[in-house]
Amino acid sequence: MWSRSPAHTERLMRPVSHTGCRGSHLIPQVSLKWVPIPMSVGFAYICYQQYGHVIEREQRHMKSPGDDARPSGLASDWQTSAPQVSIYRALPLNFVSRMWGKLNSIEVPVSLRAPLYKVYISLFGCNLEEAAIQDLDYYRTLGEFFRRRLRPGCRPVDKKALLTSPSDGKILHCGRIRDGQVEQVKGVTYPLADFLGPVSWRSSERKSADYAERVKHNPENELYHCVVYLAPGDYHGFHSPSEWTVSTRRHFPGDLLSVSELVARRVRGLFNFNERAVYYGTWQHGFFAMAAVGATNVGSIKVYHDKRLFTNIPDQPTDQHFDEEFSNEIRPGIPMKKGDSFGEFNLGSTIVLIFEAPPGLKFHIPEGRKIKFGQRLASVR
């Protein structure tokens, strides 16, 4: 990058006569030269601009109206076929997210770590007391600070709960899946079949014209879902919400649209557009799935037991999905216990749970409320 530097300015003096003035005055004549500035300064400027984008997004998210006061012009007026959504999806958000990821991996000078991270802590309300390592100089990059570990004991897992929260975040929506439609927020739905894809992860699929019935193991059960939104200030790891066995992973390359509540209210089928890794399996009540959904600046989804998952790769086809099987003749899959570490995001995104359970399942955290990893989420009455 280049800049005009006063240090390299040549100052020439020449006499100039002014009408009505006595004598001559010396007026400086400036000749400017272009000089290089460090690339790190350019990266810092990009970082500043990107932080501005994140801050603005979170301010809109915090100020978005509640479900009972939703103004006109939301999901019912801005559907996925609208030109605004097409233009939004055409933005190079995947490329921007890759650049943001590279920026996050640049090592920050030790002298700048504490000031930089304190700005982030102040902007997004991070609780550093919950971090396993509270010395800010320890985190070499922004990415390492985003993915900081929790201090042991600060998130006790409710062992008696049927289902616990997989992460810190905000409950966008939870409830029963009706007519094969899932609510991403109240009043805005998307097809379950588009989110999960063909029921090919089961060797003994139940014969039915209804997609939800083919997913379930027990026809007397219901399908439920829960959407947890992770903000940039939240703890970025996600965990197993119950005891279950993971048998298959399905990777859907796609867009990296924002998953904030404001956008979720306006873009129907948002989670079907975005890149996501869906993990299918079984638990005590039948079918169980947990999906990690990517978002703007969150192209990196890391799952600890899945070393072959690579997200936000350039030129991947977005009209296909890619399966990885974890079950074989020796073992039925990967056993997970409640609270086990599952994976992490690079900044903040969304976890979607879709599972089968008996009728009358009760969710303990209402929509719009904050929740912590390990907190009781649901139980059977």
Instruction: Retrieve residue 136's tokens.
Output: 């800010």
Structure tokens at 50: 């990107």
Q: Which of 64, 168, 242, 251 is catalytic?
A: 168
**Active site (annotated) includes residue 349:** yes
Determine how β-strand 286-293 pairs with β-strand 350-357. Answer: antiparallel
Count of residues in the chain: 381
Burial class (CB in 10 A: 0-12, 13-18, 19+), 298: buried
Task: Select which of 61, 239, 251, 285 is catalytic.
Answer: 239
Produce one character per residue of 242-279: b if its CB has 16 or more CB atoms within 10 Å, e if not: bebbbbbbbbbbbbbbbbbbbbbbbbbbbbbbbbbbbb
Q: Is 168 designated active site?
A: yes
- Contact, 271 vs 281, CB < 8 A? no
Is residue 306 annotated as part of the catalytic site, yes or no? no
Query: Whose CA is closest to 275, among 344, 195, 212, 347?
Result: 195
**Full DSSP string of 19-69:** TT-SSEEEEEEEE--EEE--HHHHHHHHHHHHHHHHHHHHHHHHHSPPGGG
Q: Supply the residues annotated as catalytic.
A: 168, 239, 349
